[in-house]
């Protein structure tokens, strides 16, 4: 219903590309926690970073279902970390650059982000609390033709190996969430220090704690209007949450496909696992949940593509799809028995990687609160731009 013949051809060529260029390196990147630069450049050459961005800056300006395909196929090579590195650059950092960046910023950062020459990250979360975005403590104080940035960020995807950072900081701390602004900061600017964090899953991606110590940022690197950072972040959360919902249904689909093949082949007591009613019914339930999420997510993607502000729908998408993905990961691992627990089989990594779904980009608790405000308090969220 949502995918044309062109979409399907794109899916096929992307699948072939991932199989040939990415899959052979995944084990190495999962172990080293580093994704080599050459693949970023290849993604750039193929146009994958530019799917959603204007032709003027080297993008392809395609409809949102090309992004859906990119996200789905990235999940299906089963490295949540590799996928996260790619989509955090393409849809977290670059969305801000494209929406709020000046012409000059777009030329300096969006163009090389599309070609894969520059990698970006988005720095919102702080060690003092990620859920309470308005409570952030980093500050950027204006001094003549520059700002002085101080503070720290944590859990930042691509924070170690990136070239630039999109950073939220308070330009007017007294104003609370109305005093937050967004800046572009080159990683090599004096006063920026990054520390790589070790983590349960997403192991191919680098995750950083970042300190800013009197970092001098030129005024031209302010993104959009001063004091508008909070509404910008909230607005783009809709996209991020839908992306994470789509990722979740895609990894569920991948896990169920893999597991069904396994269950058909694995025999116990002389019969395939897929013949046991206890397992068949569990599998059928999970399959139904995955399809409900997938079709819901496609309908939200359709509305986003038409320009609707899908804050409620994206909240539901992430809340439900990540919950189902965790159940699928847990149960598919169980269907594989001891092999499910082994690193040589895909379910161990998928189980680890999936666990971030209900945490990153707004926890399930925070999403429930947003939904409660919309549904019970009738709060009407409006886009910033």
Stretch that binds ligand FAD, among 4-12, 261-269, 294-302, 357-365 (CB under 6 A): 357-365
Contact with ligand FAD (CB under 6 A): which of 14, 69, 149, 156? 156
Q: Is 365 in the site for ligand FAD (CB under 6 A)?
A: yes
Bridge-partner residues for 142, per DSSP? 147
State in angstroms the smallest separation of the CB of 367 from ligand FAD: 9
Nearest Cα to Cα of residue 258 among 57, 77, 98, 133: 77
Beta-carbon contacts of 111 under 8 Å, excluding residues fewer than 6 positions away, are: 57, 58
State in angstroms the smallest separation of the CB of 201 from ligand FAD: 8
Give me the catalytic one of 126, 240, 253, 313: 240
Q: In which region does residue 365 sit, left (phi positive, over 0), alpha (psi from -120 to 50) or beta (all else)?
A: alpha
State in angstroms the smallest separation of the CB of 199 from ligand FAD: 6
DSSP letter at 168 equals E
Please say if 100 is a catalytic residue.
no
Contact with ligand FAD (CB under 6 A): which of 26, 51, 86, 88? 88
Contact with ligand FAD (CB under 6 A): which of 90, 157, 235, 322? 157
State in angstroms the smallest separation of the CB of 316 from ligand FAD: 17
List the interface residues with ligand FAD, window 114-143 (CB under 6 A).
121-125, 129-131
Nearest Cα to Cα of residue 197 among 167, 159, 165: 159
Q: Which is nearer to ligand FAD, 137 or 142 (CB)?
A: 137
Bridge-partner residues for 129, per DSSP? 126
Tokens of 22: 């990415």
Number of Cβ within 10 Å of residue 132's Cβ equals 11
Nearest Cα to Cα of residue 325 among 259, 262, 245, 261: 245
Q: Which residues bind ligand FAD (CB under 6 A)?
A: 88, 92, 121-125, 129-131, 155-157, 199, 202, 207, 356, 359-363, 365-366, 369
Residues with active-site annotation: 240
């Amino acid at each position: 219903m949502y995918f044309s013949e062109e979409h399907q051809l794109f899916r096929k060529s992307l699948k072939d590309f991932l199989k040939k260029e990415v899959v052979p390196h995944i084990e190495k990147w999962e172990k080293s926690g580093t994704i080599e630069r050459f693949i970023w450049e290849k993604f750039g050459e193929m146009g994958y970073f530019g799917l959603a961005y204007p032709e003027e800056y080297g993008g392809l300006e395609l409809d949102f279902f090309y992004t859906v395909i990119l996200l789905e196929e990235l999940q299906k090579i089963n490295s949540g970390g590799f996928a996260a590195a790619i989509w955090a650059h393409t849809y977290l950092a670059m969305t801000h650059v494209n929406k709020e960046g000046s012409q000059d910023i777009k030329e300096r950062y969006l163009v090389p982000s599309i070609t894969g020459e520059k990698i970006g990250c988005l720095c919102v979360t702080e060690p003092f609390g990620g859920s309470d975005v308005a409570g952030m403590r980093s500050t950027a104080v204006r001094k003549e033709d520059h700002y002085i940035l101080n503070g720290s960020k944590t859990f930042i995807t691509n924070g170690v190996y990136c070239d630039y950072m999109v950073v939220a900081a308070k330009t007017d701390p007294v104003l609370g969430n109305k005093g937050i602004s967004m800046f572009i900061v080159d990683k090599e600017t004096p006063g920026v220090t990054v520390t790589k964090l070790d983590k349960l899953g997403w192991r191919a991606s680098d995750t950083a704690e970042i300190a800013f110590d009197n970092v001098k940022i030129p005024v031209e690197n302010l993104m959009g209007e001063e004091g508008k950072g909070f509404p910008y972040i909230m607005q783009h959360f809709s996209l991020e949450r839908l992306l994470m919902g789509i990722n979740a249904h895609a990894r569920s689909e991948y896990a169920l496909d893999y597991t069904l093949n396994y269950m058909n082949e694995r025999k116990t007591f002389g019969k395939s696992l897929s013949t046991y009613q206890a397992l068949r019914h569990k599998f059928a339930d999970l399959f139904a949940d995955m399809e409900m999420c997938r079709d819901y997510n496609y309908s939200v993607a359709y509305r986003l593509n038409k320009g609707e502000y899908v804050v409620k729908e994206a909240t539901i998408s992430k809340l439900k799809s990540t919950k189902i993905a965790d159940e699928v990961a847990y149960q598919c691992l169980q269907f594989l028995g001891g092999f499910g627990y082994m690193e040589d089989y895909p379910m161990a990594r998928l189980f680890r990687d999936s666990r971030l779904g209900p945490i990153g980009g707004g926890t399930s608790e925070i999403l429930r609160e947003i939904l409660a405000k919309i549904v019970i308090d009738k709060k009407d969220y409006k886009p910033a731009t």
